[in-house]
Chains A and B, each alone.
Chain A
């Protein structure tokens, strides 16, 4: 071993003698190249094509299509679903996160809930729609909910299934950051539980809560698989409409229209995620 190491080391100086003429950033080219081709280029195509008509001419008609009543309806549908499911997910998730945080930090319940949340937060998709179908759908084992196929309530219940766990994962660090001393200090000054939450705990957690809410909102906005498996005949949301416009079998497939819809979504998600980043920074002040 030692011999091998010496020979290898011995061979080094001859090469180390003249500095390599290649600048070190060259080593990062494969990574940046890959990302450019499979992330930046497609995004660029979406933005670029949104301003073209099927003949390839520059036009704003794709964007003006975003203003017509039907398309607005899809955006409103997406917005409604995302808002309701993120509000429900955030409130219930915060309650669950508090219950988890107030227990033993090394306890079984905490570990179990964290692990399960980790799986379920990613458990969107086709499988989730199946699970709810056989629980409360027309063939449900528990009961047959008449509202199962109603928009947005039926799908909101399904979305809550991955929104709540995501909220637990995102919000738990904030609750863990609440120091016992703050509670003790306010109690020793004679505050009630309500006053503690109203004047101390609540304001401290608010930025983290709002940030998490925005993250859940973006999460619901970009979710597609679940709603497609839940109901594939009627498009309620923008992602479903993108699919319809790309796969239309009656020859109406209009890729530029899909691009315009996609661009609308990027803008929406970018606004929401910027808000999330700002609130997260604000919240981070207390999470030392």
Chain B
């Protein structure tokens, strides 16, 4: 399996304790090296974010502080015919919910079903799920043009983006779910449930899925993170989601503080989501070990 480690998937291998038996001199040098590295990289990672946060708190005069940009998130409307910012926020959140719901309904039962009954399709499914990693969104979107022309006949809403977003999120969700499914003995569980008279539906929904809750949550959060940050597809298909909205505002009024406050807010939101993820992952490992 082409294991591309992605968001929040912390590597499972627990390294051996390296420092035991190390010479004192080497340990000192190693620690010095580590602290220098952590400081330098810490600054590199923190400074742009801090700069953005500072800019979002900029007052009318340079160097003053104000909360205006944060209050504007709810009310900001640009004059050039761009929809109000808050509607883009709503659309994006709704997209995240719809995409993750469709993803779960489509992928989870299929995956379990293939694991239990149609093993010979497992490789095909894995291949298709990981394929979007090798087809850049920018390429996919070129081919999607004609398909979205047809969808536009049915509905013009930006919510229609969910059809592609499911595909974009597929590799991340698949790997999260596959890890969860392979960690449980699905065959034995299903045989036990079947011999007690459960239908296949309840085998999947009431027996297997509750045993891989963490993986499902994992897949859900990864999908959310992806949808919140998606720009390319929406931009090319001329839909307005949060990122496209921020982009358009920045083109029209480059000094609009609201783009920095909204960016900071969405980033904080992503951090919180992934913190939950890493917490859940740790709890799972702790309860098993």
Contacts and interface: CB of A to CB of B under 8 A. Distances in A.
B45 A120 contact: yes
A266 B143 CA distance: 12
B48 A176 contact: no
Nearest to B30: A102
B121 A25 contact: yes
Interface in A170-195: 170, 172-173, 175-177, 179-180, 184, 193
A115 B275 contact: yes
Contact of A141 (B37, B44, B51): B51
A265 B136 contact: yes
Contacts of A177: 13
A115 B164 contact: no
B217 to A, nearest CB: 15
B5 to A, nearest CB: 4
Contacts of B135: 39, 43, 266, 269
B197 to A, nearest CB: 3
B41 interface: yes
Interface string A250-285: 000001001100110110011001001100100000
Interface in B128-156: 128, 131-147
A81 interface: no
Main secondary structure of the interface of B (DSSP, over half): helix
Contacts of B145: 45, 246, 255
Interface stretch (A69-77, A131-139, A147-155): A131-139
A140 B143 CA distance: 39
A118 to B, nearest CB: 4
Interface residues of A, number: 100
Interface string A54-96: 0000000000000000000000000000000000000010011
Contacts of B8: 115, 118-119
A114 interface: yes
Given A30-B110, A280-B3, A99 B38 contact: yes
B9 interface: yes
Interface stretch (B73-81, B177-185, B246-254): B246-254
Contacts, number: 273
B235 interface: yes
B197 A134 contact: no
B226 to A, nearest CB: 7
Interface stretch (B64-72, B89-97, B260-268): B260-268
Contact of A270 (B6, B54, B134): B134
Contact of A5 (B113, B121, B197): B197
Interface string B232-256: 1001100000010011001100010
Given A121-B7, A125-B243, A246-B142, A222 B267 contact: no
B208 to A, nearest CB: 14
A187 B24 CA distance: 14
Contact of A111 (B30, B121, B278): B278
Contacts of B137: 222, 224
Interface string A152-178: 000000001100110001101101110
Contacts of A30: 106, 110
A184 B22 CA distance: 9
Given A116-B45, A169-B5, A270-B134, A102 B18 contact: yes
A105 B110 contact: no
A142 B263 contact: no
Contacts of A31: 106-107, 110, 125
A131 B15 CA distance: 35
Nearest to B107: A31
A179 B18 CA distance: 9
A116 B225 CA distance: 13
A276 B134 CA distance: 11
B121 A134 contact: no
Interface of A: 5, 8-10, 12, 24-25, 27-28, 30-32, 34-35, 37-39, 41-46, 49, 92, 95-96, 99, 101-103, 105, 109, 111, 113-116, 118-128, 130-132, 134-135, 139-142, 160-161, 164-165, 169-170, 172-173, 175-177, 179-180, 184, 193, 215, 218, 221-222, 224-225, 228-229, 232, 239, 242-243, 246, 255, 258-259, 262-263, 265-266, 269-270, 273, 276-277, 280, 287
22 contacts: A28-B113, A95-B37, A101-B18, A111-B282, A115-B8, A122-B226, A130-B250, A134-B52, A142-B47, A142-B51, A161-B44, A169-B6, A169-B11, A224-B231, A224-B232, A228-B231, A228-B235, A228-B247, A242-B142, A263-B139, A266-B139, A277-B2
